[in-house]
Structure 1
């Protein structure tokens, strides 16, 4: 039975692609997931297991072959303002300033200037970039560009934020800083976040819940609840043990999990 606070529900979902040569490729098979509102959920799995495809279906950018995705009980058939998506590539418009990039979605909605300025100011302060409001993307570091991309996603005020490997292109130090920034923003906004990563360490650091997927065709192999306070200490014994168990799962072993 579906819980009252279930935000996203994926039910018996499968996705099949047909290549240019006519060969059928099964990307996802019988995926079932329930995500509660305000949860921070990470998905980890081998390359090519359909993680990004699943996110695009939830965003309404692709359709499943069988099964359905629901948002608060309503089937997702097309993109909606309530579900925002942030990609690995920053996708900032190079001819627009930081502030203009942040309010891009508000421009499309033809919001009044006063509203746009208020929202831009709020998120510039939140990401610590008020002094860079007139800067252009080429003047920013990778971490700063990603902060702007996150602020733009939040400025549209979605209920759900889908993040597809957003820190994958960053160096190790910047990635850790961005993980902290994201948790800070999430704790202030309490959006529901579904976050794809190839980094098991990143998933343990960020998530309330980790969904481990199998090799293609992607299936849900295990769902792990992490009942540990934040900020989490990577030096703690449970952290290394859980990381090892998830890595074993990704190698198609099946140890029992307990933290």
Structure 2
């Protein structure tokens, strides 16, 4: 059975991804490239808008008992679903699941508004700069750090040996960590060659740009920014 690598965190997301890949008729290769280190910080509660960019952030603030003082904004349906599952009402959800899409969504209401952005330490500057330029007063709270787990890199070795039919990259950081793990094992060049012989999927244009700049050719970018849509796009191309 052909193998498809993915890099979801080592929790229910990796287990769900493995099951989904099997349902698509492929052998899953789970190689988590991100681990969460909570900072213990919580967002301001007096902002007009509080923006969440990930399911992880939603779960962390719920565990901390944070209360929203204004409108809650989510980037992407997985984030919105996690917020609602933990008891928060989602007031705004941009049509485009990206930082620029959220800036477009809030721009008409931004002048003079206070916007709290609650996310990881690897958030895009596009969101903060765009909201500032639109006239908002922006504050960022880093809820967690994203680090590469010890021992990550099985997928890089598999790619270097030509054993991957496909790979699903769900963020720029997972791609960067994949390449760093490959370099530590002395197989970066061979791993890139292996990816370029496989079908590579990127969840969105920023991830695609990161891959292309590293010499990794991206074959598919799904219309919807979810793992399921990404895996389906990769397997359909295969």
TM range (shorter): under 0.3
Structure that is richer in helix per residue: 2
TM-score (norm 1): 0.23
**Greater length-normalized contact order (CA 8 Å, ≥ 6 residues apart):** 1
TM-score (norm 2): 0.24
